[in-house]
């Protein structure tokens, strides 16, 4: 091309196209899938980005194809033109033709490489990593259009790449694992605390939270085979008396060793005087000691149960004790440990109550 304006225009288009493909590649790798899912109901671009993330190998093949084409085109169009422009200038300075030609080649290579590397790759890469979800949604629709047109070629290239990987013993994957396992997170927390970038208070809370994955209900329950309870035929007066004596708002209703439910003292306040615990009881939530704490917390929140009965049937123990949401939260947030003024009454601690306030 002899027209310099045409060369400049083509160069700008090629560098912009290269920047587009680079940004798409890094944006989809860095973007958090759950954030795209949150935006998907109201954003067509976010839905397009999610579809691209679900077929990441094809998208990466498309990005690499686009970058390669742009690089080759710059080498075929821009570099010879710059070489052609620079060589006469160097020759005009008195250099021999072969020196001018060699110097023009080197300078043209430096100029084109700088434009492509800095403007066409490094800058868009940094932008995409700094704003992954934003860049992914902005570029998703045009990239989907490019993938639609070139899909047969991209699929063939991807299959060829996977074949080469399998030949050297590598298993191809279709998605990037964006999560972190508990061991990696625990190491990160410990390292942050060691170098002083994480406050000691937060270090303890985060460590406790990560331990919940391995903790079971049996690890946090306080052994108490005889928690506060009333008989099914106990009237409202007896329920209130036991609640005052033990300081527990929720009492088990049991017949011998059999627990038939749980009664809340609040229900007895508005109940007729002749009502019994059997009339006011609610089903009691039960857990084996092997149930993970996080699973127990999820069930208690979903069922709105603040108290659960813990048993160890495999060991022949009918009741190990009770566990409350307060027990779990105190294990998760040690700084919050203490009395529960909302769910317990100022008690005269007597009798066989649980070791923690039954919420």
Three-class DSSP labels, 255-290? ECCEEEEEEEHHHHHCCCCCCEHHHHCECCEEEECC
Give Cα separations from 66 to 61, 136, 188, 230 (angstroms): 9, 17, 37, 75
Percentage of residues in the chain having pLDDT higher than 70: 79
DSSP 8-state assignment for residue 221:
P
Annotated domain spans of the chain:
4-167, 182-211, 217-336
CATH class, domain 217-336, is: alpha beta
* Residue whose pair of structure tokens reads 């609640």 in the numeric block: 243
* pLDDT value for 80: 85
Confidence tier at 349 by pLDDT (50, 70, 90): very low
Give the mean model confidence (pLDDT) for residues 182-192.
68
What is the value of pTM for the model shown? 0.51
Q: What is the pLDDT of residue 334?
A: 55
Residue 342 has pLDDT above 50, yes or no: no
Considering only residues 22 and 242, tell me which one the structure prediction assigns the higher pLDDT.
Answer: 22
Q: What is the mean pLDDT of residues 26-33?
A: 84
Mean pLDDT computed over 62-77: 89
Q: What's the pLDDT band for 181 if we cut at 50, 70, 90? A: low
For residue 143, which of 41, 74, 68, 58 has the smallest C-alpha distance?
Answer: 58
Mean pLDDT (the chain) is: 78
What average pLDDT does this structure show over 35-56? Answer: 86
37 vs 333: which has the higher pLDDT: 37
Region 197-205 average pLDDT: 69
Lowest mean per-residue pLDDT among 95-109, 200-214, 307-321, 342-356: 342-356
Alpha-carbon distance 279 to 275, whole Å? Answer: 6
Q: Check if the beta carbon of residue 284 is closer than 8 Å to that of residue 262.
A: yes
- What mean pLDDT is predicted for residues 136-155? 90
CA 175/CA 53 separation, integer angstroms: 7
Alpha-carbon separation of residue 247 from 217, 341, 343, 353 (angstroms): 23, 11, 9, 8
Mean pLDDT along residues 5-16: 88
């Amino acid at each position: 091309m002899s027209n310099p304006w045409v060369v400049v225009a083509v160069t700008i288009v090629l560098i912009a196209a290269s920047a587009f493909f680079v940004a798409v590649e890094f944006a989809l790798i860095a973007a958090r899938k759950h954030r795209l899912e949150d935006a998907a109901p109201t954003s067509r671009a976010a839905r397009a980005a999610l579809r691209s993330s679900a077929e990441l190998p094809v998208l990466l093949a498309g990005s690499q194809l686009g970058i390669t084409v742009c690089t080759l085109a710059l080498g075929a169009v821009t570099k010879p033109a710059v070489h052609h422009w620079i060589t006469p200038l160097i020759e005009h300075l008195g250099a021999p033709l072969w020196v001018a030609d060699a110097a023009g080649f080197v300078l043209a290579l430096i100029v084109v490489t700088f434009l492509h590397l800095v403007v066409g790759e490094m800058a868009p890469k940094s932008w995409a990593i700094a704003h992954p979800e934003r860049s992914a949604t902005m570029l998703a629709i045009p990239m989907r259009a490019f993938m639609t047109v070139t899909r047969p070629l991209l699929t063939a290239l991807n299959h060829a790449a996977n074949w080469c990987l399998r030949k050297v013993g590598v298993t191809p994957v279709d998605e990037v694992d964006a999560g972190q396992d508990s061991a990696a997170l625990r190491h990160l927390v410990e390292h942050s605390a060691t170098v002083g970038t994480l406050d000691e208070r937060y270090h303890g809370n985060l460590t406790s939270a990560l331990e919940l994955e391995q903790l079971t209900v049996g690890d946090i329950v306080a052994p108490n085979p005889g928690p506060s309870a009333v008989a099914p035929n106990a009237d409202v007066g007896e329920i209130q008396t036991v609640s005052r004596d033990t300081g527990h708002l929720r009492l088990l209703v049991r017949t011998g060793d059999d627990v038939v439910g749980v009664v809340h003292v609040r229900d007895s306040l508005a109940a007729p005087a002749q009502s019994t615990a059997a009339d006011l009881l609610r089903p009691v939530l039960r857990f084996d000691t092997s149930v993970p704490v996080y699973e127990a917390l999820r069930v208690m929140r979903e069922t709105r149960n603040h108290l659960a009965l813990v048993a160890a049937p495999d060991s022949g123990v009918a009741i190990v004790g009770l566990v409350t949401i307060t027990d779990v939260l105190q294990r998760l947030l040690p700084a919050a440990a203490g009395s529960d003024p909302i769910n317990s009454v100022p008690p005269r601690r007597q009798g066989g109550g649980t070791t923690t306030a039954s919420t």
